[in-house]
Amino acid sequence: MILWQLFSAFFKIGLFTIGGGYAMLALIQQEIVSRGWMTPQEFVDVVGIAEVTPGPIAINSATFVGFRTGGIPGALSASLAVVLPSLICVMIVSRMWEKYKSAHVVQSMFAGIRPVVAGLVAAAAVLIATPTLKYAEGIASQLLTLVIAAAAFYAVGVKKFDPIKVIAGAALVGILIFR
């Protein structure tokens, strides 16, 4: 039963992906390629698509693989399966957090975690910038990417513009200027 196989495979992927983002790609590849649902080359294409489409890469690949193997029911089965562990785990963690968040030890813990989040977000900017600049073709494209990045930083970080409008503007600039 393909729908159930998709569901159980993506439930497992959802459950064992901690830290978000690209950490899970190896696991997805292992599950999907070993079952013969996709070739390694097709998987690379899916990652490429996931990078340029909105939404978490886990959902993107679940929908894509589910659709390829089981049509629209397959896409829905895989996509819901990959988020179900999140729903369950967040409900448990959230209940514990609401209960204990006023305890001194939990407050100290989060006073330590908040600066960590700031550092991790700064690191994410570097980790996203590196491959983006590396794969931009030619010095002109790299410079242009940096200029757009700086403009977006100024618009959202300093001038408090709506990020949605900034993304739409960057897409327009890309269409007009990139070669």
Partner 1 sequence: MQKQSTSLWKLFSVFFRIGAFTFGGGLAMLPLIEREVVDVRGWVGKDEILDIVALSQSVPGAIAVNSSIFIGLRLRGVIGAIAAMLGTITPSIFIILIIAHFFTQFQSNPILMRAFSGIKGAVIGLVAAAALRAGKNAVVNRYGLVVAACAFFLSVFGVLPIVWIIILGGLSGIVYFRAKGGVA
- Binding to partner 1 (CB under 8 A) within 42-61 occurs at 45, 48-60
User: Minimum distance from CB of 35 to partner 1 (Å)?
Assistant: 18
Alpha carbon 42 to its chain's center = 19
In the bound state with partner 1, the residue whose beta carbon lies nearer, of 35 and 125, is: 125
When asked if residue 129 is in the footprint of partner 1 (CB under 8 A), the reply is yes
User: Minimum distance from CB of 22 to partner 1 (Å)?
Assistant: 7
Distance separating alpha carbons of residues 163 and 90, to the nearest angstrom: 27
In the bound state with partner 1, the residue whose beta carbon lies nearer, of 4 and 174, is: 174
User: Minimum distance from CB of 1 to partner 1 (Å)?
Assistant: 21
Contact (Cβ atoms closer than 8 angstroms) between residue 66 and residue 10: yes
Distance separating alpha carbons of residues 5 and 35, to the nearest angstrom: 10
Distance separating alpha carbons of residues 179 and 57, to the nearest angstrom: 27
Burial of 61 (0-12, 13-18, 19+ CB in 10 A): buried
Q: Pick out residues in 78-107 that bind partner 1 (CB under 8 A).
A: 79, 82-83, 85-87, 89-91, 93-94, 97-98, 101, 104-105, 107
Q: Pick out residues in 131-170 that bind partner 1 (CB under 8 A).
A: 132, 136, 141, 144-157, 160, 162-164, 166-167, 169-170
Q: At what angle do helices 25-34 and 57-100 cross, to 10 degrees?
A: 130
User: Minimum distance from CB of 92 to partner 1 (Å)?
Assistant: 8
Place of tokens 């179900």: 84
